[in-house]
Amino acid sequence: MKPAIKRGLTTVLCTILVGLSLTSTGIGSETSPHSAVEMITVDGHTVPDIGPLPTVVPQPPGNLNYAAKLSLGKQLYFDGRLSKNNAISCAFCHNPVAGFADPNQTSVGVGGLRGGRQSPTVYNTAFNPFQFWDGRAGSLEEQAIGPIHNPVEMAETHEAVVPKIAKISGYKEEFQKVFGTGVSLQGIAEAIAAYERTIISTNSAFDKFVLGDQQAMGEDAQRGMALFKGKGRCILCHNDSNFTDNRFHNLGVPQVGPMKEDLGRYYVTRRERDKGAFKTPTLRSITESAPYMHDGAFKTLEEVIDFFDKGGNANPQLSPLMKPLGLAPQEKADLIAFLKALTGEPIPFEFPKLPE
């Protein structure tokens, strides 16, 4: 790993938010305490209550956003020339018209190779201290360049992609303007990450409701929110302002797709308790990013709720938070109504013109 990229792992969590506490976003270590937020206790477990996102998006001090960098990052995000066959871009698997995710169960890379995991949404990744389903990346900068050298994804090498992009005169000029240097792997990482930090799902019906607009959510969604925070136990993992505890849990999700076995977080920590554990995803704009779970096992939210209602699938590392819920059909419908109320306002979007 390049030293500058490695520095991003330690600086990404250091942003000072004016008038806000980062602890309110749940950003920190896997075991960091929450403070400065209201807490809620469900079945003996105390977690941060859900609420609106902070009004300021965290930025690492070493990679602040500004217009020229965002423009460059957006171009790189949509440029297939980062891949070996010049066809697979970041947007290929994190598509803005599919909730910045992939509508396929698992994504297809260079040469038609299919990965074993569902591409997670880019929505609100700026608030995540860990990236990828297994949390192997500690910053968006590190995440941004990971797929480039993954043989099942973009199948390029970090050593080859820099001179390749540097041969494009438009990029050469832009890197000089943005960074004052030639094309570099660090610059590619910082520009893409800066753009990804602008992809925020917020101002949903839920946000408007909790900020005082009592007409923003219907009665069914309001009942669903009560279930979410009570009988449904959803808040035990999907909590705080981004609807995620940023931790890793084994839910007993059925293994489907090309991988016969996926041990998730275990590959990173090598801890027995982490076998089959995957990162809790945000639920913001969840209706836009089907299918669901790390392997895309479920096509609909109805299937997801049925799975949780049964308490998951038993296995030695199953999270103790998983238990049968006994939800009635109307309760399931109310939960769906609440999840729909988490859809953020549309993000204005235009495909960028790529440099030549």
Residue with tokens 């109307």: 330
Give the CA distances from residue 21 to residues 35, 45, 129, 295, in Å, rounded to whole numbers and listed in that order: 8, 23, 15, 34
> How far is the C-alpha of 292 from the C-alpha of 336, rounded, in Å?
14
34 labelled ligand-binding: no
Sorted by sequence, the CB contacts under 8 Å of residue 258 that are 6+ apart come out as 106, 114, 115, 116
Q: Is 14 labelled as part of a ligand binding site?
A: no
Residues 6+ apart with CB under 8 A from 48: 24, 26, 34, 37, 38, 39, 40, 239, 240
Q: How far is CA 115 from CA 85, 95, 148, 249, 309, in A?
A: 17, 16, 14, 21, 29
CB 331 within 8 A of CB 227: yes
Measured in degrees and rounded to the nearest 5, phi and psi for residue 182 equal -75, 180
Query: Token match 């096509």: residue?
Result: 299
* Spatial separation of the C-alpha atoms in residues 273 and 283, rounded to whole Å: 25
- How far apart are alpha carbons 136 and 143 in whole angstroms? 9
Report which residue type is found at 85.
Answer: N
The tokens for 266 are 């275990």
Active-site entry in 141, 142, 153, 331: 153
| DSSP letter string, 84-112 | TTS---HHHHSBGGGTTB-SSSS-B-GGG
The reply to whether 249 sits in an annotated binding site is: no
- CA dist 24 to 130, 176, 217, 246, 314, Å? 16, 38, 24, 13, 33
Is 153 tagged catalytic?
Answer: yes
Q: How far is CA 53 from the centre of its chain?
A: 15
Residue ranges of the binding site for heme c:
90, 93-94, 234, 237-238
Looking at the annotation, which residues are catalytic? 153
Residue ranges of the binding site:
90, 93-94, 234, 237-238
